[in-house]
Amino acid sequence: MVTVKSVDPRSLAEKAGLQAGDILISVNENEIRDVLDYRYYITERYLSLLVHRGPALLTFQIKKGEYDDLGLNFETYLMDKKHTCRNKCIFCFIDQNPHGMRDTIYFKDDDSRLSFLLGNYITLTNLSDADIDRIIKMRLTFSDFFKNLAGISSHTSQLSSHSSQLP
């Protein structure tokens, strides 16, 4: 479940009656945990959104064009916590960054959602069984996997390039 931060004026969601502060539980009976669930399940033409508003449990029906956006906005892009790298590479290029730079320089992202949606590098080493089940269920295509593998390959070359610069 994810909390709606705002609703775009004159959007499908506003016309259907959704409000800021609503907690989106599911779309067409599919639980919504993050941006990947949300983007995937709102592509349908007929949506049934199950929402908590305070103590009330409400259902909103929306008819729309395939892939039309609803106009709902959430606290963060991922609608969830970021997944970080669990590896402990002794040559980690992030660990080799100098001190005193902005926080994001030191963030070791390794998030399959960001990889599928934005092409970020991932190592595939921190996927849970549920993550893998979802990838299979959503039929994320081979091209996505190849893109990710290309990311890994690029990451690996970046690591090689970094390690070759070490004394």
Cβ–Cβ under 8 Å, residues 124 and 152: yes
Given the complex with ligand SF4, which of 115 and 123 has the nearer CB atom? Answer: 123
* Least distance to ligand SF4, CB of residue 102, Å: 17
* Least distance to ligand SF4, CB of residue 131, Å: 17
Given the complex with ligand SF4, which of 17 and 151 has the nearer CB atom? Answer: 151
DSSP for residue 47: E
Given the complex with ligand SF4, which of 123 and 148 has the nearer CB atom? Answer: 123
DSSP of 54-92 = TTEEEEEEEE--TT----EEESSSSSSPPPB-----TT-
CA distances to 57, 135, 155 from 106, in Å: 41, 28, 16
DSSP of 108-141 = -B--HHHHHHH-----STT--HHHHHHHHHTT--
* Least distance to ligand SF4, CB of residue 162, Å: 8
Given the complex with ligand SF4, which of 67 and 106 has the nearer CB atom? Answer: 106
* Least distance to ligand SF4, CB of residue 79, Å: 23
Separation of first and last alpha carbons in the chain: 49
Rule CB under 6 A: which residues touch ligand SF4?
Answer: 85, 87-89, 92-94, 108, 123, 159
Given the complex with ligand SF4, which of 86 and 137 has the nearer CB atom? Answer: 86
* Least distance to ligand SF4, CB of residue 89, Å: 3
Write down the residue that tokens 């609703």 correspond to: 7
